[in-house]
């Protein structure tokens, strides 16, 4: 598709892509309606935000109040949906706009459409089954699905176990395979091993997977998910009960078994803010409403967020996210 970058009043998505989006949303709603999963609508603004150092929130304020209060546009509807779960315990989903103040590119737009759903009683692998069923419904003739642990993916492609690796191990791997090392990354302890693992995942491991099919990576390092329960993997290691879904190198979904321990969740939020402080990042307000909901009690459940713009890219055969958005960031 050729995008006319001069006529900025026009949508960048074709009429065909816009109609395909409408059909996709209709199909998704029918899928969950058949399964008795309730559709929610929660606020886009909140007084607390995601604390993960790799996430950046858009901030605003409400000038009509006597004291200026910071408000955050949600990076996902997760916290509000968990408050619903704590109150009513019902399976639920939401299709909404989410916002992240980070990179722009062929697969990224700061405002994007997210599908998020929560399934009390389902384990992580049962939720993967449901994701497969949803994608097969939407894409009708999708490629195959593979499931691979995070450790096995690194061992097969990079040649080392990420759960015991050091920053020095990661740097040696980068040199061995000729992977560009970003300025500022070091192996002297000043660069967190998780930063190294994230870099090697995107630059080497994911390109080493099959590019014409879907891959679930599961059982991430315990330090790479502030909202997931920990469990024992097949090797007896304590890991995060978290998974991500990729098509080739394109990340589509992120899910996990939801952490329900209030004190542990607060400690992880506070740790995230300490990392933010060390990195020179802005500290964010911890969501006390979420912590109160967890203290009240939330049912054991799994949850997942699926990027619908990227799923639509697969459905339309688009190489750039602008091809499936009405008005991307430079046309708002």
93 in any annotated domain = yes
194 in any annotated domain = no
252 in any annotated domain = no
Answer yes or no: is pLDDT of 10 > 90. yes
Pick the more confident residue, 223 or 242.
Answer: 242
Answer yes or no: is pLDDT of 5 > 70. no
- 297 backbone φψ class: left, alpha, beta (φ>0; ψ -120 to 50): left
320 in any annotated domain = yes
Total domains present in the chain: 1
Neighbours of 8 (CB within 10 A): 11
Answer yes or no: is pLDDT of 192 > 90. no
Q: What is the pLDDT of residue 6?
A: 72
| Residues 66-118: tens digit of each pLDDT | 667 889 999 999 999 999 999 999 999 999 999 999 889 999 999 999 999 99
The residue among 3, 12, 99, 44 whose CA lies nearest residue 312 is: 12
Determine contact, residues 76/254, Cβ cutoff 8 Å: no
Rounded to a whole number of angstroms, the distance between the first and last alpha carbons of the chain is 21
Phi/psi of residue 267, each to 5°? -60, -40
Mean pLDDT across the chain: 94
Q: What is the pLDDT of residue 190?
A: 65
Residue with tokens 């993997």: 233
Answer yes or no: is pLDDT of 3 > 70. no
22 in any annotated domain = yes
Q: What is the pLDDT of residue 119?
A: 98
Domain of residue 109, CATH code: 3.30.930.10
Range of the domain at 17: 1-143+304-332
């Amino acid at each position: 598709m050729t995008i006319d970058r001069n006529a900025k009043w026009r949508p960048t998505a074709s009429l065909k892509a816009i109609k395909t989006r409408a059909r996709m949303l209709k199909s998704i709603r029918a899928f969950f309606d058949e399964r008795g999963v309730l559709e929610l609508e929660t606020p886009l603004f909140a007084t607390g935000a995601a604390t993960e150092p790799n996430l950046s929130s858009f901030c605003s304020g409400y000038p009509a109040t006597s004291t200026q209060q910071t408000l955050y546009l949600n990076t996902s509807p997760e916290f509000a949906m968990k408050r619903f779960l704590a109150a009513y315990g019902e399976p639920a989903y939401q299709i909404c706009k989410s916002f992240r103040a980070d990179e722009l590119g062929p697969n990224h737009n700061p405002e994007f459409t997210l599908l998020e759903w929560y399934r009390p009683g389902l384990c992580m692998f049962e939720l993967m089954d449901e994701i497969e069923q949803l994608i097969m419904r939407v894409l009708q003739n999708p490629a195959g699905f593979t499931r691979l642990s995070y450790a096995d993916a690194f061992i097969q492609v990079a040649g080392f176990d990420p759960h015991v690796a050091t920053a020095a191990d990661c740097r040696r791997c980068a040199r061995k395979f000729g992977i560009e090392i970003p300025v500022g990354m070091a192996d002297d302890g000043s660069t967190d091993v998780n930063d190294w693992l994230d870099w090697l995942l995107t630059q080497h491991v994911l390109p080493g997977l099959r590019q014409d099919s879907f891959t679930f990576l599961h059982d991430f390092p315990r330090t790479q998910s502030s909202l997931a329960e920990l469990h024992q993997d097949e090797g007896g290691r304590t890991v995060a009960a978290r998974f991500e879904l990729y098509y080739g190198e394109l990340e589509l979904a992120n899910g996990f078994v939801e952490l329900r321990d209030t004190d542990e969740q607060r400690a992880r939020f506070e740790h995230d803010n300490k990392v933010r402080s060390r990195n020179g990042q802005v500290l964010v307000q911890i969501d006390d409403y979420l912590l109160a909901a967890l203290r009240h009690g939330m049912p054991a459940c799994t949850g997942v967020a699926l990027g619908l713009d990227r799923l639509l890219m697969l459905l339309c055969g688009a190489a750039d996210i602008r091809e499936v958005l009405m008005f991307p960031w430079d046309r708002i």
